Each structure stands twice: as structure tokens, then as C-alpha cells.
């Protein structure tokens, strides 16, 4: 950050249970305040997405998706999206974590742009809590 750069204050809304978990984690790690922890989380998100945006060619890896299966229509929507990408999806594994949460691991191999599109489509769906992308270039 340059000397002329200014700090920008923003407002963020959290579900109470997520904020409670966030506060517990940052306290255990030793953060002095939420702002630093949120900045680090945003940097991690940006670096992961930026890396995905800059890669080209063939890639392989796993898209790990955590979602709330109680959200109406979400499972059908996720299945429909995956059916649009059968050319790059090698396999999927579905794991029931609790009454509300499911974890899905989607093995992918193919064009980087297609993998990015799939990742973006899945992560933008209401009820998807987390999408972690672990990709290697071929």
C-alpha cells in the first residue's frame, strides 16, 4: 500500500452463527481485531480466484463444495449445473455431514476456462456455503 492509499471502511453482514464461529477462530489464532482477520480472508479469496483467472490450458483437480441441502431446489440445481459440464467432470463423491450439510467433491480435468466457469456457477448458488478449488496445471 502506498502512502497516498487510504483505508476504506465497509459494512458487512453476517449470520449470527457464522460471526460467532469467526470470532472464536480469530481469538484462538490471536488476531487483535476482526478487521485484520477479514482482510486476510479477503486476500486469500482474491489470491485463489486470481490464480484461477490467470491459469490457461489443461488442468485437473477437485472442487470441494459445502452446502445446505435444506435449501429448496439446490440439489437439483447443482445436479443440473454438473450435467452441463460432463466433458470436464471425471467423478463426484457426495458425503452427508449432518442433517443440514453435505460435502461434495467433484473431480475435474480439462480446459481451465471451463473449470473456472463450473466453479463460478456452483459457488454462486444460494445455499452453497463454501467452494474450495484445488487445481494443478497439466
Same domain flag for 88 and 128: yes
Neighbours of 104 (CB within 10 A): 20
Cβ contacts of 77 within 8 Å, gap of 6 or more: 125
Considering the domain boundaries, does residue 7 fall inside one? Answer: no
User: Which CATH number covers residue 84?
Assistant: 3.30.70.1150
Same domain? For 84 and 119 the reply is yes
Q: pLDDT for 29-57, tens place per residue?
A: 999 999 999 998 888 777 666 656 667 88
46 and 65 fall within a common domain: no
Considering the domain architecture, whether residues 129 and 68 belong to the same structural domain is answered as yes
pTM reported for the whole predicted model: 0.68
Residue 59's pLDDT band, with cuts at 50, 70 and 90, is confident
Question: How many domains are contained in the chain?
Answer: 2
Q: Is 41 among the domain residues? A: yes
> Which residue range is the domain that position 46 belongs to?
16-50
Amino acid at each position: 500500500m502506498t502512502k497516498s492509499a487510504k483505508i476504506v471502511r465497509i459494512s458487512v453482514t453476517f449470520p449470527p452463527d457464522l460471526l460467532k464461529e469467526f470470532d472464536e477462530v480469530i481469538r484462538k489464532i490471536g488476531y487483535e481485531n476482526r478487521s485484520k482477520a477479514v482482510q486476510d480472508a479477503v486476500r486469500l479469496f482474491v489470491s485463489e480466484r486470481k490464480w484461477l483467472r490467470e491459469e490457461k490450458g489443461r488442468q485437473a483437480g477437485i472442487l470441494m463444495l459445502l452446502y445446505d441441502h435444506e435449501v429448496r431446489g439446490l440439489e437439483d440445481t447443482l445436479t443440473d449445473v454438473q450435467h452441463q459440464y460432463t466433458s470436464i467432470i471425471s467423478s463426484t463423491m457426495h458425503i452427508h455431514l449432518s442433517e443440514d450439510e453435505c460435502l461434495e467433491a467433484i473431480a475435474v480435468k480439462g480446459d481451465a476456462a471451463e473449470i473456472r466457469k463450473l466453479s463460478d456457477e456452483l459457488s454462486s448458488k444460494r445455499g452453497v456455503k463454501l467452494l474450495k478449488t484445488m487445481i494443478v496445471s497439466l
